[in-house]
Structure 1
Amino acid sequence: MPADLFPFVRSFMKSARAVGAIAPSGRQLADVITSEISRSVAPVIELGPGTGVFTRAMLDRGLEQEDIALIEYGSDFVRHLQIRFPNTHIQWMDAGWLSRVELFGHGKTGAVVSGLPLLAMPPKKVMQILDGAFTHLRPGGVFYQFTYAPVCPIPRAILDRMGLKATRFGGACSNLPPAAVYRIRRRPAGMLSRNGPVARLVDGVAG
């Protein structure tokens, strides 16, 4: 069994719903979701890095480990990441708490790469994650998300209420299962909905 599979299998056996996949992401998917990542967008936040396939792809694109913050909740994955990428900024935490933490000395990041199973999460949790991610993103920053579903994993209602736009820009047919990749940006009007700030929406959406 490849080394990357050991932490994946342990976490899958503990909670398949939290892992959200039947196998670690493949190299083709990693290449697609990181295709717009370069040193010019550093630093970068990665949500749910798992075994670190996307992390390795970003390092291969010229980023330094110090340029990457890894937000991971699974303890088996965290131990694996600490060994494999000791100089990254590893945070053992729920991605929903992202707005509460300081990363890169309050500096803003150019991209967030997400391996989280958003489709398995309630709307309130998805909004909390997006709110935290865009709090850290600088103007023009991009949130990258992949999905195994035939549609965007973030419902249109949430995108509209948070002032965001999602665009599918690639896919990985050889991944197990096949996956699509979305680029999510702020709309010109910003992150406010027609009804008020994101913080109020997060409080009001039932989970």
Structure 2
Amino acid sequence: MLQFLRKPRQVAALAPSSRALAKAMVEQVPHRAKRIAELGPGTGVFTRCLVDHGIAEQDLTLFEINPRFADLLAHRFPRAVLHRLPAQELAGVAGGPFDAVVSGLPLLSMTAAEQEAILDAAFARLAPDGAFIQFTYGPASPVRRGICGKLQLTFTRTRRIWANLPPATVYVFRRARVPARILDMEPAADAWTTRCLEPT
């Protein structure tokens, strides 16, 4: 909570994400995914769940600008690649392509320009069928409709995850040109797809 009060635009919630939310996020990762980038991992709740899910620690690339969290991540996941850089710098780092980007960033508190820069950088480094996985506490998509349209993205979303404080929903964004039938991962039974191609 102290980190939230000090830096509310960097920390997404008052309390760390629950295991239920972490599990819901990781369940959206494509089945044969190997290389994952994580944006704003914080204390590493999603990171730990990814490792437990079978992603090798050395195949994780973490972006964390909060010094306290970055130090903690370096201690907990010493084999992961840690960048103390903003998420917008993802496009410029070595390695890739990534099979998925898992984001714990507070997108709802960001400007349209910041959101677009982050999504643009992520999809520049994602594989053609890669997924950008983001949770939100809000009632609608955390990415502005106009940005989805400009970047030609579609999304699926899960049902509300009540076992989290506050309750959250997981959104998965993909390039619209990739037909759902060829994706490595089929959306969960309780998820549905929305096309958001027209800017507002």
Count of aligned pairs between the two proteins: 182
Kindly state the Cα deviation for residue 96 of structure 1 after the two structures are TM-superposed: 1.5
Give the unaligned 5+ runs of structure 2: 179-196
Q: 1:137 aligns with which of 112, 123, 126?
A: 126
Q: 1:12 aligns with which of 4, 21, 40?
A: 4
Question: CA offsets, 1:146-199, max 9 Å, x none?
Answer: 00001010011110111111221243211000000001000118xxx899xxxx
Contact 1:29 / 1:171 at 8 angstroms: preserved in 2? Answer: no
Contact 1:144 / 1:181 at 8 angstroms: preserved in 2? Answer: yes
Tell whether 2:35 aligns with 1:43: yes
Contact 2:103 / 2:132 at 8 angstroms: preserved in 1? Answer: yes
How far apart, in 1, do the equivalents of 2:16 and 2:25 lie?
14
Give the 3-state SS of the residue equivalent to 1:82 in structure 2: helix
Kindly state the Cα deviation for residue 112 of structure 1 after the two structures are TM-superposed: 0.4
Q: 2:144 aligns with which of 125, 141, 155?
A: 155
Give the unaligned 5+ runs of structure 1: 1-8, 196-207
Question: CA offsets, 1:115-159, max 9 Å, x none?
Answer: 000010001110110011011101100000000001010011110
| Counterpart in the other structure of 2:103 | 114
How far apart, in 2, do the equivalents of 1:140 and 1:38 lie?
9
Q: Which letter maps to 2:124?
A: T
Q: Which letter maps to 1:153?
A: P
Question: CA offsets, 1:14-52, max 9 Å, x none?
Answer: 212321211111100000000133672110000000000
Kindly state the Cα deviation for residue 114 of structure 1 after the two structures are TM-superposed: 0.4
Taking every aligned residue pair, what percent have the same amino acid on both sides?
A: 41
| Counterpart in the other structure of 1:23 | 15
How far apart, in 2, do the equivalents of 1:176 and 1:162 lie?
31
TM-score, normalised to structure 1, is 0.82
How far apart, in 1, do the equivalents of 2:106 and 2:173 lie?
16
TM-score, normalised to structure 2, is 0.85
- RMSD (Å), alpha carbons: 2.0
Q: Which letter maps to 2:64?
A: E
How far apart, in 1, do the equivalents of 2:147 and 2:5 lie?
31
Contact 1:49 / 1:71 at 8 angstroms: preserved in 2? Answer: yes
Kindly state the Cα deviation for residue 11 of structure 1 after the two structures are TM-superposed: 2.3
Q: Which letter maps to 2:137?
A: Y
Q: Which letter maps to 2:149?
A: D
Tell whether 2:56 aligns with 1:67: no
